[in-house]
Amino acid sequence: MSKVVVVTSGKGGVGKTTSTAALGAALAQTGQNVVVVDFDVGLRNLDLVMGAERRVVYDLINVVQGDAKLAQALIRDKRLETLSLLPASQTRDKDNLTAEGVAKVMGELRKKFDWIICDSPAGIERGATLAMRHADVAVVVTNPEVSSVRDSDRIIGLLDSKTEIAERGGTMEKHLLLTRYDPNRADRGDMLKVDDVLEILSIPLIGIIPESMEVLRASNLGTPVTLSDASCAPAKAYSDAARRLMGETIPMAVPTDRKGLFGKLFGRRAA
């Protein structure tokens, strides 16, 4: 059965698009059939991070409005044949994303893919609620900073109220992905520690992604970090998170300042 995952956050710039690409690629690397969907209409940068910007002809809005068939808009990844992208429009207005149109596209995607990973715009506006509407699972991307954690709490509230699952009386499966974690800054007290974040948000942790130049480098190359250098710390952390999404139990480690090494095993139960 296919799973729809929304990658969401209250605040912008926390690493949603980076995480959508990396988790999508990591799942596809295990042989699962994956599509990453860009709901960030107007900004449109998932295609850049995926290195597919020059191949975009049709986009999500074209499909929602019936101007193009889904197959015309899907872009198959050049490196991984199990990975596809449904890009967003940069020029069209996000009001063109209708609830009925999105529901129809999601239904079609469910027939074709094992995993549908939706990259959400930040915030609590319509674009974000449309991106989460059909999800089975939410990955809440949070940086270890007070403002980011506070905004994540609001998103958790929306996930539990404004989604199809919530309207049916169910509960959305939610996971916390802590990104841009800098162990030195956490040690100095400039950033929240993992425990502090978990205490405030109280949803299970699916991964801790260290702040890393490798991520920026991969992004500039248009390659998800798990594809550009599978052995670097952020790639490993994303691959482990993807396997946890698939239901595997893998010990969680908090990144330390020793490059490429993970520190003491994290005591709490992982997601």
Ligand X SMILES: Nc1ncnc2c1ncn2[C@@H]1O[C@H](COP(=O)(O)OP(=O)(O)O)[C@@H](O)[C@H]1O
The contact set with ligand X (CB under 6 A) reads 9, 12-18, 179-180, 209, 211-212, 215-216, 219, 234
Tokens coding 244: 């946890």
Nearer to Mg ion, 5 or 186 (CB): 5
14 binds, among ligand X, Mg ion, none (CB under 5 to 8 A by kind): ligand X
Shortest distance (Å) from residue 127 CB to Mg ion:
11
Shortest distance (Å) from residue 16 CB to Mg ion:
5
Q: In whole angstroms, what is the distance from residue 185 CA to residue 205 CA? A: 20
Contacts of 131 (CB under 8 A, 6+ apart): 6, 8, 39, 118, 119, 120, 121
Nearer to Mg ion, 121 or 183 (CB): 121
Shortest distance (Å) from residue 120 CB to Mg ion:
8
If one asks whether residue 17 binds Mg ion (CB under 5 A), the answer comes out as yes
Shortest distance (Å) from residue 12 CB to ligand X:
5
Which position's Cβ is nearest Mg ion?
17
Nearer to ligand X, 70 or 144 (CB): 144
| Binding segment toward Mg ion, per CB under 5 A, in 13-21, 23-31, 201-209, 263-271 | 13-21
234 binds, among ligand X, Mg ion, none (CB under 5 to 8 A by kind): ligand X
Nearer to Mg ion, 16 or 180 (CB): 16
Asked if residues 127 and 16 have their Cβ atoms less than 8 Å apart, the reply is no
Nearer to ligand X, 61 or 225 (CB): 225
12 binds, among Mg ion, ligand X, none (CB under 5 to 8 A by kind): ligand X
Shortest distance (Å) from residue 212 CB to ligand X:
5
If one asks whether residue 133 binds Mg ion (CB under 5 A), the answer comes out as no
Shortest distance (Å) from residue 179 CB to ligand X:
5
Shortest distance (Å) from residue 167 CB to ligand X:
26
* Binder of Mg ion out of 16, 94, 134, 244 (CB under 5 A): 16
Nearer to ligand X, 163 or 212 (CB): 212
Nearer to ligand X, 212 or 223 (CB): 212
DSSP string, the chain: --EEEEEE-SSSSSSHHHHHHHHHHHHHHTT--EEEEE--TTT--HHHHTT-GGG--S-HHHHHTTSS-HHHH-EE-SS-TTEEEEPPPSSS-GGG--HHHHHHHHHHHHHH-SEEEEEPPSSSSHHHHHHHHT-SEEEEEE-SSHHHHHHHHHHHHHHTTSSHHHHTT---EEEEEEEEE-HHHHHHTSS--HHHHHHHH-S-EEEEEEP-HHHHHHHHHT--HHHH-TTSHHHHHHHHHHHHHTT-----EEE-SSTT-EEEEP-SPP-
Q: In whole angstroms, what is the distance from residue 10 CA to residue 191 CA? A: 18
Which residue ranges make up the site for Mg ion (CB under 5 A)? 16-17
